[in-house]
Amino acid sequence: MILATCAVALLLAAGPDAPGGVQKVRIRVDTFERKPISRFIYGLNFPESESTWGKGVPRGVSLSRMGGNRVSAYNWETNASNCGNDCDGKFPNDAFLGGGDEPGGAVRKRAGWAFERGAGFLASVPMLGWVSADKDGQVSLATPLAERRATRFLPSRARKGAPFAARPDRSDGAVFQDEFVAWLEGEFRGRRGDPLRPIFYSLDNEPDLWGSTHEEVRGNRQGKDGYVLTGYEELVSRSVEYASAVKDVAPEALVFGPSVSNWNGFANLFHNDKPDPAGRKFFLEYYLEEMRKAGERQGRRLLDVLDVHWYAEIQSTNHQSIANEWAPQDAAMVQARVQAPRSLWDPAFRERSWVDRAVGGPVRLIPRLRELVARHYPGTRIAVTEYYYHRGGDISGAIAQADALGIFGREGVFAATLWPQGSRWAYKGDLDRTYACVFAAFRSYRDYDGKGGAFGEASLQATTSDLERTSVYASTDPEGAGPLVLVIVNRSEQPVDASIELSSAVQYARAEAWRVTGGIGACTGPERTPGEIPVERNALVASLPPLSISTVVVRR
């Protein structure tokens, strides 16, 4: 430890910049304390779909989520669904999800894809109350609500209240979600208890937006500000009912909820200034407390994972949102995007957005959620099942993605699944280019050498002297016996020399590096850098190209 301390002192004495414009940062990795990294943070929504993601889905996807607005009206008996307002306001009942007419066909093919690749599967349980009865196209909002419910939809209920059938009875006038869970558990019997390929259940999708997304069954925008708002009591009541039904069938299954869409959903279900019945304005506090109380009454946990969606609202200094993929991708936009993941954790980072103004300070999303859990429902895990930082075909998108994955692992997030939000037309219609760079970021963690080389399962404490320019994530195996795998991000547009000090009882001897680099519309890598990096007295220097991701593997 004396040697390590002396080495750090020498690094601290070094100047901030090296000759020739190369920047210098100091990184320290402490190997003495290890925290587990959940394997389920490396997830995608609908990863099996080439029409969604192109052909470049990386090896190592660990969780597949079948989510989105379609699942709210998904009829598992026939595979009919309704995309709601997502389809140009036409609200079609259709066969988009595939699966033919076989019960659960759309789910079977997606779960099968995940299990064949050693991944878990997150199924969504509809709670909206109505599912599509046909695949006959547009549902006209000009038709009275009662009539369109009666002719185009079927009641969806949490419990059947009768023995489950080998094949669901399509003449009984309703669709039962506990029977769906029983079907899925039976279809893939043997998955239960498999730590690599579990089945999880999500309580629907973005219920805070039901009023606008699913007018076809919720009514024609007759509520406040043109929305039929989801009520606090309504959502909790439905969540308790459906979570209980899931647990009755699959007691060991983990249940995710409430899958709300953004900060307004977290705060008040888009009720604006309306508090909940207890007088609090923050919805997630109310939700966690009520789910805890319901679980205590039943003598079992009903909510296992607090699930939210997070689409960064950050704007550049030119007042352009990073979600605007058609805006000029100038230096201001690039810096806004690559800094955006800091809002997931950094207590000193102020983002330029309405969320920052609503919070009144740093967002620090994940620590904030952990604090809510600790106060209102201890033991609940955290998931982010939709997120995207845009421009997935640019190096800036890759850097934001690499940062997000590193943060999820270090901050103890249980599950995360990227949502396909990219505009292929920003890349001249080329779907493979649309996500090429974010997939390169995935490979930096899950397949950096093309042979399955992966970030470790245990997180180590790692710090950088310049958080604005760089970030670092460190890992090893759970026993600490294997190599150290570091992912180092250079967010600046200048090259950086990173002086790395390893605080360890083990003497390391050599290191190798793989890099992702690129620009607007293209990325290369991860590519192996020539030769090895010497390690002397547990210190090494890694050269980081401008706007790059480096996976550094340090061996004994």
What confidence tens digit (pLDDT) does each residue in 312-332 have?
A: 999 999 999 999 999 999 999
Least confident of 30-34, 133-137, 215-219, 243-247: 215-219
Instruction: Note the pLDDT of residue 277.
Output: 62
Distance, CA of 307 to CA of 305 (rounded, Å): 6
Q: Is the pLDDT of residue 457 over 80?
A: yes
What confidence tens digit (pLDDT) does each residue in 28-87 have?
A: 999 999 999 999 999 999 999 999 999 999 999 999 999 999 999 999 999 999 999 999
Q: Is the pLDDT of residue 191 over 60?
A: yes
The answer to whether 151 and 134 have CB atoms below 8 angstroms apart is: no
**Per-chain mean pLDDT for the chain:** 93
Burial 283-304 (b: 16+ CB within 10 A, else e): bbbbbbbbbbebbeeeeebbbb
- Return the amino acid letter for 188: F
Distance, CA of 138 to CA of 334 (rounded, Å): 40
- SS3 of 449, please? coil
Distance, CA of 310 to CA of 313 (rounded, Å): 9
Instruction: Note the pLDDT of residue 227.
Output: 67
The answer to whether 123 and 235 have CB atoms below 8 angstroms apart is: no
Q: What percent of the chain has pLDDT over 70?
A: 94
Least confident of 92-96, 187-191, 448-452: 187-191
Q: At 430, is the pLDDT very low, low, confident or very high (cuts 50, 70, 90)?
A: very high
Question: Which sign does the torsion angle of CA 418, 424, 425, 428 carry?
Answer: positive
Instruction: Note the pLDDT of residue 9.
Output: 31
Q: At 8, is the pLDDT very low, low, confident or very high (cuts 50, 70, 90)?
A: very low
Burial 62-84 (b: 16+ CB within 10 A, else e): bbbbbbbbbbbbbbbbbbbbbbb
Q: What is the CA radius of gyration of the chain?
A: 24
**Alpha carbon of 5 to those of 2, 12, 16, 517: distances in Å?**
5, 11, 19, 33
Q: Is the pLDDT of residue 3 over 50?
A: no
216 closest CA partner among 96, 106, 314, 93: 93
Please state the rounded mean pLDDT for residues 481-495.
Answer: 96
- Annotation says 77 is catalytic: no
**Alpha carbon of 6 to those of 10, 463, 539: distances in Å?**
6, 17, 11
Q: Beta strands of 181-318 (E only): which ranges?
A: 199-203, 255-260, 305-310
Please state the rounded mean pLDDT for residues 301-306.
Answer: 98
- Return the amino acid letter for 315: Q
The answer to whether 527 and 537 have CB atoms below 8 angstroms apart is: no
Of the candidates 206, 285, 411, 512, the residue annotated as catalytic is 206
Instruction: Note the pLDDT of residue 89.
Output: 83
What would the two tokens of residue 91 be?
A: 């609200």
pTM of the model: 0.94
User: Would you say how long the chain is, in residues?
Assistant: 556
Q: Is the pLDDT of residue 22 over 60?
A: yes
Non-local (6+) Cβ contacts of 57 within 8 A are 44, 47, 50, 439
Kindly state the greatest CA–CA separation across the chain: 79
353 closest CA partner among 401, 403, 312: 312
Instruction: Note the pLDDT of residue 2.
Output: 32
Burial 406-417 (b: 16+ CB within 10 A, else e): bbbbbbbbbbbb
Q: At 177, is the pLDDT very low, low, confident or very high (cuts 50, 70, 90)?
A: very high
Q: At 278, is the pLDDT very low, low, confident or very high (cuts 50, 70, 90)?
A: low
Apex 28 CA angle, 25 and 34, nearest 5: 145
Within the chain, all domains assigned CATH 2.60.40.1180 are found at 2-36+458-555
Please state the rounded mean pLDDT for residues 342-370.
Answer: 96
Instruction: Note the pLDDT of residue 222.
Output: 64
Question: For residues 211 and 513, which has the higher predicted lDDT (pLDDT)?
Answer: 513
Instruction: Note the pLDDT of residue 15.
Output: 38
The answer to whether 381 and 306 have CB atoms below 8 angstroms apart is: yes
Distance, CA of 225 to CA of 451 (rounded, Å): 54
Distance, CA of 543 to CA of 535 (rounded, Å): 14
- Return the amino acid letter for 488: I
3-state secondary structure 121-186: EEEEECCCCEEECCCCEECCCCCCHHHHHHHHEEEEECCCCCCCCCCCCCCCCCEEHHHHHHHHHH
What confidence tens digit (pLDDT) does each residue in 211-240 have?
A: 989 999 998 766 655 667 899 999 999 999
Please state the rounded mean pLDDT for residues 192-200.
Answer: 90
430 closest CA partner among 54, 57, 46, 58: 54
Fold of 39-446: TIM Barrel (3.20.20)
Distance, CA of 268 to CA of 261 (rounded, Å): 11
The answer to whether 120 and 75 have CB atoms below 8 angstroms apart is: no
Q: What CATH number labels 2-36+458-555?
A: 2.60.40.1180
